[in-house]
Chains A and B, each alone.
Chain A
């Protein structure tokens, strides 16, 4: 909710400020939704995208190239699973004790 509020506040585009065509979520370490997005069709996207990121960057095992402070982006409907090109997704890992 806080992230959603912060996203709305500075938005000047009608698609975000008025239509609210965006979502903010929390996912577990495998990309499963813990907090559901208000835009319900965004729900499967995150799982697909995080799964793809884990696959590309070494997953959860040792030697993974995912580290604290990383931010991933995608709007690719096939490679990232986004609904369409206009939807830009950002994903960041959360680490314990950081």
Chain B
């Protein structure tokens, strides 16, 4: 292989706490399209050659030795790693590029052979499973059915997803699922191969997932939050079908997850300014053994923050699993946080809020879109029992009689109450997730 030829890529992915969404933490349960979740960057070249890379380093605050306490504790990385290229150039210079690429091919082939052997241990046949999503993220309270059939045929060669389709308000529309994620997750649940087996892309060469009806591809305008919900549920359904082939590795249903974001208006020196958590339960459960009571969901933090760390930052007098959690019950984790100072908390609306509505997109407002949005909102309010037709004239009368002066008086009274309130105020999970109030100030 001649010098100067492309032999590899190095890559890294990191979860940013906030990329400029409409809510702190960027992942909003109320987002109905991904444009509400922050800055969106398609695959672009951010550094064009080393020349601009030097300029980038010079202006990037992270590259300054005094950027944070971490830089004082740890030595600055060497230049080659700062480039993000790792040790691959060094390997090429030591052994030759051809040797490195041959080693890459051997690694991939070995992993593929191991996966074929693992699939060959499964019995031949077909198995099906079904699951329901709460909604598609836009139209509420209309569940979407996910039906999956997994067939194992042609020993060691192919594992085929025969059917994956959604039904409900948008029949025939492919579920917004990334097929690549499913391949890896599926391979993760196959019979355990040799200890040296690693999850590499060679598995994709051995296990193919094919949808008989449409390609499982994400499609606009599905929100990313809903995309994760679909992934969670669809993976559950696939694993449920796979359990027929390998009962010993059957898992409990992942249930659902809950999210909590705590952000500080004023930064704390040396401390993070945001804590973002997605929690689930029952992970790892199977035949004869329970799963974890409270952990992170997949597609979020795989390594959940230990409770000791949470307690060191946020006093948690109560943190427990709700009874029955992990089996289709929402908000599996019950917790209560006591702030150390007077706080003002803005509670984000729950994803099941009846006020949720489809927002504008980058395409701009279309003719009739406002009317359609109002109709959706009114339908949701009616289902939740808070529309004027359900509540009756009392609510309408209150709304009509509320003047600006009265609103200001109420705000002033609330401010006086807060000024005389004790500093310690407890927030319960029920307060945080109650959907019918849009905003509440804590601290009487």
Contact = CB atoms under 8 A, between A and B. Distances in A.
Interface of A: 2-3, 6-7, 9-29, 31-34, 36-50, 52-53, 56-57, 60, 64-98
A8 to B, nearest CB: 9
B2 A74 contact: no
B91 to A, nearest CB: 9
24 contacts: A10-B70, A17-B70, A25-B10, A27-B10, A32-B108, A36-B200, A40-B188, A40-B298, A41-B185, A43-B199, A45-B180, A69-B48, A72-B43, A84-B228, A84-B299, A86-B15, A86-B18, A87-B13, A87-B16, A91-B10, A92-B85, A96-B3, A96-B6, A98-B4
B42 A76 contact: yes
B181 A44 contact: yes
A15 B15 contact: yes
B220 interface: yes
Given A85-B224, A94-B9, A71 B45 contact: yes
Contacts of A18: 305-306, 309
Contacts of B104: 28, 32, 34
A38 B302 contact: yes
Contacts of B302: 20-21, 38-41
B250 interface: no
B17 A13 contact: yes
B216 to A, nearest CB: 12
Given A2-B87, A94-B85, A9 B70 contact: yes
A64 B228 CA distance: 35
Interface in B186-245: 188, 198-202, 204, 218, 220, 224-225, 227-228
A38 B19 CA distance: 23
B9 A44 contact: no
Interface stretch (B31-39, B402-410, B413-421): B31-39
B146 to A, nearest CB: 19
B303 A19 contact: yes
B184 A52 contact: no
B166 to A, nearest CB: 18
Contacts of B8: 26-29, 34, 93-94
Instruction: Give the size category of B's interface with A.
Output: 35 or more
Contact of B48 (A70, A86, A87): A70
Contact of A12 (B1, B19, B272): B272
Contacts of B11: 24-25, 27, 46, 49-50, 89-92
A22 B15 contact: yes
A73 B10 contact: no
B173 interface: no
B392 interface: no
Contacts of A2: 81, 86-87
A81 B272 contact: no
Most A C-beta atoms less than 10 A away, residue of B19, B41, B97, B108: B41
B183 interface: yes
B267 to A, nearest CB: 11
A71 B84 contact: yes
Given A18-B309, A32-B108, A81-B178, A92 B43 contact: no
Contacts of A33: 199-201
Contacts of A52: 43
Most A C-beta atoms less than 10 A away, residue of B26, B86, B188: B86
B5 A95 contact: yes
A47 B179 CA distance: 12
Nearest to A88: B16
Contacts of A53: 43
B49 interface: yes
A5 B374 CA distance: 51
A69 B47 contact: yes
Contacts of B388: none
Contacts of B188: 40
Given A21-B300, A73-B46, A85 B34 contact: yes
A10 B70 CA distance: 4
B430 to A, nearest CB: 25
